[in-house]
Amino acid sequence: MEAHRGTSSAAAKWSERVKKLGESGLTLGEFAKREGVNAGTLSFWKWKLGRREGGRARGSRVEPLKFVELTTATPSAAAPVPSFEVVLRSGRTVRVPGGFDAAALARLVNVLEEVRS
C-alpha cells in the first residue's frame, strides 16, 4: 500500500512538471536541464501521463477537418489576356490576342503585306 502511495505522489509531481514543460515553450531537453531532471525520465512521464488521458497528450488534440470549396474563375472574372497590335506598311492594323500562334501570325502578315489596297 505504501508503494502505491509513493507512485501516486511521483505521478502528481511528474504531472506538474509535464504541465510546466508544456507552458514553458522550451524543448524537452532545455526544460529538463533547467529543472535539473533527467530528460529521458521526463520524456517517459510525458508519454505515460498522456496515455492516462486517453492517449491524448495535453495540447495534441486533432481538430476537425475544415473544407473550402474551390471553383474555377469565370472568363469575365479572369485577368484580361494581354494583346497587341501590328501595324503593316500599308497602314492596316492587325490586333493579336495573347496566346497567338506565331507561325500563323507570320503567314498572315506575309499575305497581308503582299495584298495591295
Taking the CA atoms of 104, 107, 112 and 115 in sequence, report the sign of the dihedral they define.
negative
Q: So what's the pLDDT on residue 37?
A: 93
Give the span between the Cα atoms of 34 and 10, in whole angstroms: 19
Distance of CA 20 to the CA centre of its chain: 29
In tens, the pLDDT along 74-106 reads 666 566 677 888 888 878 888 888 888 888 888
Three-state DSSP at 77 gives coil
- Are 89 and 111 spatial neighbours (Cβ–Cβ below 8 Å)? no
- Are 21 and 46 spatial neighbours (Cβ–Cβ below 8 Å)? yes
pTM of the model: 0.41
Q: So what's the pLDDT on residue 107?
A: 87
Does 55 score more than 60 pLDDT? no
- Are 84 and 96 spatial neighbours (Cβ–Cβ below 8 Å)? yes
**At residue 28, what are phi and psi to the nearest 5 degrees?**
-60, -45
Give the span between the Cα atoms of 48 and 99, in whole angstroms: 63
Question: Where do the structural domains in the chain lie, given as residue ranges?
Answer: 2-52, 83-114
> Of 37 and 89, which is predicted with more confidence?
37
Q: So what's the pLDDT on residue 8?
A: 77
Three-state DSSP at 96 gives strand
